[in-house]
Amino acid sequence: MKNYIAHLGRQGQILLPAVLLIPTILLAIYLIYETAKLSREKIRNQFAIDTAAFTEMTIASTFINASAYSSAAFPYRGLGELLRPDEKVLKPEAAYPDEVELSLYDYVYRAGGFPAMEEPGDKPKADAKTWKLEYYTGTRDDWMKEPPEFDEDTVYIVGSEEMADTHKVTKEYAINALKTYLVVYYKLGNIFKDQKTVYEKLSKHRHFFKKAYFLNAITCKEARCGEEAISQIKNFNVKLKQNSIKNVKIYFKSESGGIRSVELDLTEPFVAGVVDGEEIKETLGELFQFASLESGFKSRLKKMRKGIGLTQSFEAPKNYFNVNLKKYKPRVKVKVALQCTDKDNSCVWPESTPKYQVRTYP
């Protein structure tokens, strides 16, 4: 009996340490739980700032890429389809037997009317670092610089004088080519203006940044979400310049065989057509040609190739131990970059290549 009681006593010895360990285990559980709460909040805010930064820069990249496309590839494609390079309607004059038949595409392109690939119909390669869309040799050389040397008061030729001499470029052909040219570039000008207006509205108060942060973080007030990070990109706004011309000129062959020309001041009303015997007059104003970087923006865009570091503090959740985590200033960080294939990060003009992309780094 005594041995049995002694045996029970020895078994009860484990009870006291076990009772003492229970609070420790509970504290450990609470610690793990509170750590998980804090980690969850940080992960949530990290995802929020990553998404917000990417969303905000995507607005900028969309505008820049669209402007680069409108400056070269768009007019090349549009005029290539409308002026039909395969339709050789311009026959050589008898005095120039070595000349070949050409198209209205050649007539406008050889005058410096628009940038194009070396061979009509060629398409820029998707994997090419730059799209080689250039004006015809010897024309618009001052434009193909950065910054471009541009004089909007100059009379620019958009219908080849040389071809008017060597080929049978009638007035009808010349006027049709001019109308097509004006329509395409007029629409491109409107597209650029609309894109610029949309970008400025979307980026003005960084609404997309705040909305993206709010939808992911939840814990902040939408109107003030991400304010600290926003202050670090407040000076980054895409600044593109519209380069336009006011005067155009075409050459053609008169019925008597001489070379004639038509010059238009686009800021003045001109006859755009005749409907039911009545002349329809238009005033185009300045005619868009291409977009380029404003001088002050070029350096900022170059820095964006390496990226901008953004930091944002967040409010840590309350914890069981009543530790004031605010004094430790919890925050999340992200580095966001806007990059194109050019080492100077300049792909808008003169080598217009719409390949800007947004990248984020931890």
| DSSP characters over 287-351 | EEEEEEE-HHHHHHHHHHTT-EEEEEE-PPPP-TT---GGGG--EEEEEEEEE-SSTTS--SSSS
Q: At residue 279, does pLDDT exceed 70? A: no
For the residues 153-181, what does the mean pLDDT come to?
A: 95
The pLDDT tens digits for 70-127 are 999 999 999 999 999 999 999 999 999 999 999 999 999 999 999 999 888 899 888 8
Quote the pLDDT of residue 16.
Answer: 64
Chain segment 211-263, per-residue pLDDT in tens: 999 999 978 888 899 999 999 998 899 999 999 999 999 999 998 889 999 99
Dig out the tokens for 267 from the structure. 């800021």
User: What's the whole-number average pLDDT of the chain?
Assistant: 90
Name which of 267, 295, 292 is nearest 282 in CA terms: 267
Separation of alpha carbons 15 and 11, rounded Å: 8
Task: Tell whether the model's pLDDT for residue 144 goes beyond 90.
Answer: yes
Lowest mean pLDDT among 271-280, 311-320, 336-345: 271-280
Q: What secondary structure letter does DSSP report for 217?
A: H
Distance CA 110, CA 158 (A): 8
Token pair of 53 as six digits:
């930064």
* Res. 272: pLDDT tops 70: no
With bands split at pLDDT 50, 70 and 90, how would you rate the model's confidence at 2? low
Mapped onto helix, strand or coil, the DSSP state of residue 183 is helix
Of the candidate ranges 3-7, 20-24, 225-229, the one whose mean pLDDT is the lowest: 3-7
